[in-house]
Amino acid sequence: MRSLFFSLCLSVTALGAGSAYAAEEARLAPVPAVDEPASGARTATAYFAGGCFWGVEGVFSHVKGVKSVVSGYGGGPPELRVDYDRIGTGRTGYAEAVRVIYDPSQVSYGTLLRVFFSVIADPTTLNYQGPDHGTQYRSALFPQSASQEKVAKAYLAQIGKSGLWRDPIVTKIEAVGRFQPAEDYHQDFMKHNPNHGYIRRWDAPKLVAFKALFPKLYKNAPST
């Protein structure tokens, strides 16, 4: 299954710009009108789902204030144990997701949301991102506190009124359930495989866009 998936990624890449697929367009999302208050906490945790976790992890790992990013699976029944092959069926309820541990004194949850919607995920595509289709590739936010939930709801409403996207916002707020880290070969995939066809076609442009749109937030050495 793993070799089949890797081959599929390469074949999708080979379709090039003339294919029916289009990479998510980078857009500078607005500064959050509602954000987390200062808490004095040294670390906080956030979970995001936004298509293939390689790119989600790859971008967040370069955000200043982010201490670690782990690719995994979230949003499904907590009692169900899953792996990459099972997730790939699209019938588990789980999504490819990432766990972000960050320092709220350096980067806020609202800023992470802004980066997410600016360069990582298109909030208007239901159950797909770029070439990846299925419920496992949906975009979702998994708040870990009442404060995060308040910020997430406010920001989804804010970007919905921003006029940056023609179509309705479909990103959902969900419970992450039991987050399950993905297999080792998925961790830090962009860092370890910069010349992989899928990374070059779909994910590297997200990192380039992040650096261009948020130069003060960008750090060269990625978190792991």
Say how far apart CA 210 and CA 114 lie, in whole Å: 11
pLDDT (tens digit per residue) in 62-98: 999 999 999 999 999 999 999 999 999 999 999 999 9
Q: For the chain, how big is the Rg over CA atoms in Å?
A: 16
Q: Which of 9, 46, 52, 207 is catalytic?
A: 52
CB of 156 closer than 8 Å to CB of 48: no
Catalytic (active site) residue 9: no
Q: What is the DSSP string of 83-151?
A: -HHHHTTS-SS-EEEEEEEE-TTTS-HHHHHHHIIIII--TT-TTEETTEESGGG-EEEE-SSHHHHHH
Residue 169 tokens, joined: 């916002």
Say how far apart CA 29 and CA 160 lie, in whole Å: 11
Say how far apart CA 44 and CA 46 lie, in whole Å: 7
The third-level CATH classification (topology) of the domain covering 2-17+28-213 is Peptide Methionine Sulfoxide Reductase; Chain A (3.30.1060)
From the list 99, 71, 75, 66, the residue with the least C-alpha distance to 217 is 66
In angstroms, how far is CA 132 from the centroid of its own chain?
13
Q: What is the pTM of this model?
A: 0.90
Domain limits of the chain?
2-17+28-213
pLDDT (tens digit per residue) in 148-158: 999 999 999 99
pLDDT at residue 8 in the model: 38
Query: Which positions of the chain have pLDDT values less than 70?
Result: 1-23
